[in-house]
Amino acid sequence: MSEISKRRFLKRLFARPDSDGAARAKDFYEFWAQLVSQATPKRNQKFFASFFQKRSACLFLSLILYFLLFGFVLDRPLSLGVLRLELEGKAARLAALPGPKLVILAGSNGPYSHSCVVLGAMLRMPCENAGIAVGIGLDEVFARYGPALQAGDVVYMPMELQQYVASRAAYRAGVDGGMMWRHERGVLAGLAPDRVLGAMFCCDVADAMESLAEMPLAVAGVIDPRAMLAREYDEEGDRVDNAGPAAAWLLAAPSRGVPGAGEIEAGYGTRLIAAFVARMRAKGVVVVGGLPVDFTDARMPAGTLDAVRAVYGARWFLVLPNESRYPRRDFFNSEDHLDRACQAAQSVLVAQGLGRLLGRGVGAAPAVGCCATLRNNGCA
């Protein structure tokens, strides 16, 4: 708008005392609309276009570099590599087992506190202890194990209670996101969209520094993940390095909080577990829920047991006579991890309970070491 046009407009605007407010407002709006539309392109359009083009190009290139580095170059072969190899090994053994087979599916409470050597022998079924550390997302675990489970198989799920209450946000930020983005993009592609995005944007500078520290150590063979797993697990997936007295700190540690019924019912983990149970039962797999091991002094809120039982249905939920509770001296290094003798004792109780539930004959219990729980029953 030229200076002459501006003067004419202002003279017309203020020389109309008889005009109404609406007319003046309209004139004022038209004036500023013309002023902005004519001034901006001449003075700023090229600047803003150049500014945003450069920033957009930098952002795009940064994202490409980020995805390439964490998807194809950087790796954490020690901290996450061990878990990846463990999960792959369990999935491969599970797929190779003849059916009908027995599968123990939980977090680390599975391999530390249950024994496929005992359960498989007593129930006369091939067995895989498929439990994997809490923190590896159940969506990933179910995606890997589900295809190997067939009609007639039995899955026993003494899931840790924190698995039920895990939030969707926790899954998006899960430590296994980077592992899947680096090594398991095929598995990742089958998960929920927000899980995929969380995995793609899994990592930060700290993760990059850990990768740069671990990769040379792995190449140098300072730590061999496969040899480590061979020392820690037997051929059926049971943990075998848990012999010995309870850690001193564990005897004095406060009991962890136990989630209430509302938390169980609202948990994202509960939804994942319930959906998996429904899918497996639809193809003839027998799924039995159970309680994880814990201290006898851990207090379970009223309603929590019923909330967990509801995920599986009362007909297919196993509660042992001791509710899987043990004195602290029966544990190894965590409230989820029984020592070797009590791992076997817990497995005897589970085998007997599953036998009754399934209407299946149960073989003689093997000799087990002295678990403190059994000392009142003649264990010397």
The DSSP code sequence of 303-316 is THHHHHHHHH-GGG
Q: Is 305 exposed, middle or buried (0-12, 13-18, 19+ CB in 10 A)?
A: middle
Same domain, 309 and 166: yes
The pLDDT value given to residue 9: 47
Asked which of 12, 39, 63 is the last residue of a domain, the reply is 63
Return the number of other C-beta atoms located less than 10 Å from residue 16's C-beta: 12
Same domain as 277, residue 169: yes
Q: Are residues 59 and 104 in the same domain?
A: no
Torsion of CA 206, 208, 213, 216, to 10 degrees: 170
Stated pTM of the model: 0.82
- Return the closest-CA partner of residue 287 out of 304, 312, 310, 254: 312
The answer on 233 and 109 residing in a single domain is yes
Give me the amino acid identity at 134: V
Residues of the chain with pLDDT under 70: 1-52, 373-380
Tell me the pLDDT tens digit for each residue of 107-148: 999 999 999 999 999 999 999 999 999 889 999 999 999 999
Bridge partners, residue 239, by sequence: 233
CA–CA distance from 247 to each of 160, 251, 305 (Å)? Answer: 21, 7, 28
Q: How far apart are CA 222 and CA 15, in angstroms?
A: 89
- Chain CA centroid to CA 53, Å: 39
Same domain, 47 and 113: no
Q: Is residue 366 part of a domain?
A: yes
Same domain, 106 and 59: no
> The domain spanning residue 330 has which CATH number?
3.40.50
Question: Kindly report the CA angle at 19 between 17 and 24, in degrees rounded to 5?
Answer: 100
Q: How far is Cα 94 from Cα 352, in angstroms, rounded to an integer?
A: 23
Report how far residue 210's alpha carbon sits from residue 182's, in angstroms, rounded to the nearest whole number.
Answer: 15
Supply 137's token pair.
């997302």
Domain range for 103: 99-173+222-377
Domain for residue 200, yes or no?
Answer: no
Does residue 236 share a domain with residue 148?
A: yes
The set of long-range contacts for 86-91, using a CB threshold of 8 Å and a minimum separation of 24, is 86/132, 86/229, 86/233, 87/132, 87/136, 87/140, 87/141, 87/144, 89/229, 90/128, 90/129, 90/130, 90/132, 90/145, 90/237, 91/130, 91/144, 91/145, 91/148
Same domain? 23 vs 112:
no
Helix (H) or strand (E) holding 128: strand 127-129
Cα 69 to Cα 9, 56, 65, 173, 203, distances in angstroms: 60, 20, 6, 18, 10
Listing DSSP states for 178-195 in one string gives HHHHHH-HHHHHTS-HHH
- In Å, what is the CA distance from 311 to each residue of 2, 9, 157? 75, 75, 11
Give the C-alpha separation, 59 to 356, whole Å.
Answer: 62
For residue 183, being part of any structural domain is answered with no
**Count of domains for the chain:** 2
The last residue of a domain, from among 42, 63, 84: 63
Residue 325 domain-assigned (yes or no): yes
- Both 24 and 107 in one domain: the answer is no
| 3-state secondary structure at position 337 | strand
Do residue 133 and residue 33 come from a single domain? no
Query: Is residue 187 assigned to a domain?
Result: no
| DSSP secondary structure string for all residues of 155-173 | EEE---HHHHH--HHHHHT
Predicted confidence at residue 253, as pLDDT, reads 87
- Between CA 173 and CA 195 the distance in angstroms is 8
Quote the tokens at residue 355.
């036998």
Which DSSP state fits 233? B
Whether residue 238 is found in the same domain as residue 342:
yes
Backbone angles phi, psi at 15, to 5 degrees: -95, 15
Q: Phi/psi at 289 (nearest 5 deg)?
A: -85, 160
Residue 352 burial (CB < 10 Å; 0-12/13-18/19+)? middle
> Does residue 76 fall inside a structural domain?
no
| CA dihedral of residues 20, 25, 28, 33 (deg, nearest 10) | -140
User: Does the residue 192 lie in any domain?
Assistant: no
Q: Measure the CA–CA gap between 9 and 105, rounded to whole angstroms.
A: 80
Does 227 fall in a domain? yes
Q: Are residues 158 and 20 in the same domain?
A: no
